[in-house]
Structure 1
Amino acid sequence: MDLSTKSANILIILTLQISSNIFAHSIKTTDSLELVAVLHRHGHRTPEHLYKNDPYKDEDKYWPIGLGQLTNKGKMQLFNLGKLFRKEYESFIDKYSVKAVRVNSSDYDRTHMSAQCLVAGWFPPSGDELWNEELIWQPVPIHSVPTNNDQILAPLAPCPRFWMEREKVMAEMASKETPEDKELYEYLSKHSGDNISTADDIAALYTNLQMEELNDLELPEWTKKVYPEKMQPKVDFCAKSFTWNKILKRFFGGPMVKEILHQFYEKSRGNNKNNKVFLYSAHDTTVYSFLRTLEFNDFEYPEFGASVIFELHRIYDKFVVKLFYSHAAELVPYELEIPNCPTPCPLEKILNITEYVRSVDWDTQCFK
């Protein structure tokens, strides 16, 4: 190798290193940030259902705000999460604008209220936004569709093909059950007063017990024999069953992936120029299934206020995606590496690797 060639190679290497360092530095700031999408679970709530022998069935006494409702603790969780986002993105967006911020929610009281609390923490009014000196708050529109039409945030819109596929998965699990499983069903049925005969039944009862425990109520003595340890495996399987295979991921998590990446794609094409933030207020199942659809298959189940944050950056006219996650409202989000895509992930790359789950045509493929 002659000296000129060697010098040229050194120059190339130094140029690449400098470019790499600039790239790494700029991605940590909001200078290159184009769009943020946040998918989060609602905050702490009351139980949604009560079992027959539930010692806390007196709703007026124990659940005066109603079943399945956001508690004061839940409100504060999401309000503080909004404050965290305000601090994180204050140089990117410092005030609310209906043109810049779009808030979407599933059609449940607790998700609507969670979205309102998050936005209240993120965008407190100031200056000419103040309309009432006694109330440092501003109204923000929350968008949702009826649950039976929702394909994204609480995906319960009719889809026979999805439910048939999930039923196969559940039947396969049931075929492998042991005598110990049968004993568990019988024990839970006897003490709860409900007919507990499937893994879904166990999951529903488990959630009820968990919500009562998280609301500082002492669980009945009989639960100590089975809750949480013996019930947990069935609950874990049920949580995963919604995205157990590619077909299920396509229908249950795919529409949410499609929604966020569609907004990123449109932004990269020069559309939606005013948009800066998309918020999606949803459920534990939504967040968990979304992560599994992206092939994060080993995560713990998300707690109240868990959030997935997608960022779209533009660096040297190239669009890249960064992903952050917080397991609970009280935890600071940390960066994740998107499976099969190096960090930061080129937008074109993530569009390619998610093409299958994003390509579902609900109106035709759900009814085949």
Structure 2
Amino acid sequence: MAGRQSGWSWATLLQLLLGVNLIVMPPAQARSLRFVTLVYRHGDRSPVNTYPKDPYQEEKWPQGFGQLTREGMLQHWELGQALRQRYHGFLNTSYQRQEVYVRSTDFDRTLMSAEANLAGLFPPDGMQRFNPNISWQPVPVHTVPITEDRQFLEMVANETGLTDLTLETVWNVYDTLFCEQTHGLVLPPWASPQTMQRLRGLKDFSFRFLFGIYQQAEKARLQGGVLLAQIRKNLTLMATASQLPKLLVYSAHDTTLVALQMALDVYNGEQAPYASCHLFELYQEDNGNFSVEMYFRNESHKAPWPLILPGCPHHCPLQDFLRLTEPVVPKDWQQECQPTSGPAGTDVIVALAVCGSILFLLIVLILTILFRMQAQPPGYRHIADGEDHA
């Protein structure tokens, strides 16, 4: 030990004599969460509408159709509590308006879901408690006005009184029965577990048909790609030190989540449950670069599931995330949504005209052959050159 101390003393003396400072490496920067975006579905609600023969019409529901229920309020309050725990240390323990911005669609159920969620996320603390008997404080929620098998189906039509069954109306029937069943109402005898299972299958197919199957890439650009474009923009802004709230929230619908997840190619094929939440988390790594992680919370008593963008690891570098999602982001949404016109439309018209002319000539040719065959005398048969005469 004495020799080791002597060695350190000589090294210290040598440093002092030479006037050389030892290089002290700065501590490594810890990986840190910089920004979070949430997209969640509203909580449990009453049916949006019903079918003619349903014994439970709108007057059976306390607030009418399409409204958030007490269960839905509790679901989002619990989600807010879970988010408060997950982001402890990232968000201030009390509400700070500079940290949070919440945007909702202009529906009662999404606005109320956002408010219930914020009640769980930011319970009043100290001076923020404006009434000692109320453990709640108002937090702003921003919005903008709204601008937008055959025998089986015959059975459903007969039992519901619907005259026009489409994928949309079948979805509505299932949704109505599901809401009624969830709230303890007795379903009609025809709505057996087997029928509910088949209706659910058709409902799931309607989602895939609406957002995928045919021209999925084009649909992704014009549906979920619009929201994804804004999320990408916000991630980029935060990575370039722009000042944005630390938490951006979108209170929306199951269709919003499905469209977004289809655009990201992480959709699992099932309807997003009530109060489910898609999380985007932007991290700054210890080397200064940024990465994106995605999670999906679809079960209230389990941690969110990691979501992996195809072509990237879970800790996806921001530049790779932007590159891989670029193809599904519309450049000009209004222009891309316009029907085909101009030269392309002219080409279609010309092609149809040519096909029509060819079809007309074929019909004329067939009729001419038939006419000539009928005009031949009985017993006459044309013999082609080289045919055996024996």
Match of 2:385 in 1: none
Deviation (angstroms), 1:345 = 0.4
Structure 2 residue 277 is matched with structure 1 residue 307: yes
Match of 2:298 in 1: 327
Match of 2:70 in 1: 72
Deviation (angstroms), 1:95 = 2.2
Deviation (angstroms), 1:330 = 4.2
Deviation (angstroms), 1:292 = 1.6
Rounded to whole Å, the distance in 2 between the matches of 1:238 and 1:147 is 23
Question: 5+ residue gaps in structure 2?
Answer: 1-27, 340-390
Structure 2 residue 352 is matched with structure 1 residue 352: no
1:227 alignment partner, SS class: helix
Match of 2:205 in 1: 237
1:230 alignment partner, SS class: helix
1:223 alignment partner, SS class: coil
| Structure exhibiting the larger radius of gyration computed from Cα positions | 2
Rounded to whole Å, the distance in 2 between the matches of 1:56 and 1:322 is 44
Q: Residue type of the partner of 1:48?
A: V
Written as runs of structure 1 = structure 2, the 5 A alignment for 1:34-113 is: 34-57=34-57, 59-60=58-59, 62-93=60-91, 94-113=93-112
Deviation (angstroms), 1:332 = 2.5
2:78 alignment partner, SS class: helix
Written as runs of structure 1 = structure 2, the 5 A alignment for 1:289-304 is: 289-304=259-274
- 1:313–1:324 distance in 2 versus 1, CA, 3 Å: same
Rounded to whole Å, the distance in 2 between the matches of 1:85 and 1:210 is 28
Deviation (angstroms), 1:307 = 0.6
- 1:225–1:125 distance in 2 versus 1, CA, 3 Å: closer
CA contact (8 A) 1:41 1:304 kept: yes
Rounded to whole Å, the distance in 1 between the matches of 2:204 and 2:269 is 11
Match of 1:162 in 2: none
Match of 1:253 in 2: 224
Deviation (angstroms), 1:344 = 0.4
Match of 1:186 in 2: 154
Match of 1:278 in 2: 248
2:143 alignment partner, SS class: coil
CA contact (8 A) 2:204 2:270 kept: no
Give CA-to-partner distance per residue, 1:274-331, whole Å, 9 cap, x none: x100011111111122112111143432111111111000112101001111113444
- Percent identity between matched residues is 33
Q: Residue type of the partner of 1:277?
A: L
- 1:109–1:294 distance in 2 versus 1, CA, 3 Å: same
Normalising to structure 1: TM-score of the pair?
Answer: 0.79
1:47 alignment partner, SS class: coil
CA contact (8 A) 1:304 1:328 kept: no
2:274 alignment partner, SS class: coil
Give CA-to-partner distance per residue, 1:177-199, whole Å, 9 cap, x none: xxxx2212211111100124322
CA contact (8 A) 1:41 1:284 kept: yes
Match of 2:237 in 1: 266
Match of 1:216 in 2: 184
Q: Number of aligned pairs?
A: 307
2:222 alignment partner, SS class: helix
CA contact (8 A) 1:185 1:196 kept: no
Q: Residue type of the partner of 2:315?
A: P
Rounded to whole Å, the distance in 2 between the matches of 1:190 and 1:99 is 56
Rounded to whole Å, the distance in 1 between the matches of 2:230 and 2:83 is 21
Rounded to whole Å, the distance in 1 between the matches of 2:68 and 2:44 is 6
Q: Residue type of the partner of 2:102?
A: V
Q: Residue type of the partner of 2:154?
A: E
CA contact (8 A) 1:307 1:329 kept: no
CA contact (8 A) 2:266 2:307 kept: no
Match of 1:115 in 2: 114
CA contact (8 A) 1:253 1:290 kept: yes
1:242 alignment partner, SS class: helix
Deviation (angstroms), 1:362 = 2.0
1:298 alignment partner, SS class: coil
Match of 1:178 in 2: none
Give CA-to-partner distance per residue, 1:58-111, whole Å, 9 cap, x none: x33x20221111111110110011011111111001222221100011111000
Normalising to structure 2: TM-score of the pair?
Answer: 0.75
- 1:342–1:225 distance in 2 versus 1, CA, 3 Å: closer
CA contact (8 A) 1:81 1:330 kept: no
Deviation (angstroms), 1:137 = 1.3
Match of 1:227 in 2: 195
Cα RMSD over matched residues? 1.7
- 1:364–1:110 distance in 2 versus 1, CA, 3 Å: same
Deviation (angstroms), 1:43 = 0.6
CA contact (8 A) 1:34 1:276 kept: yes
Rounded to whole Å, the distance in 2 between the matches of 1:299 and 1:323 is 18
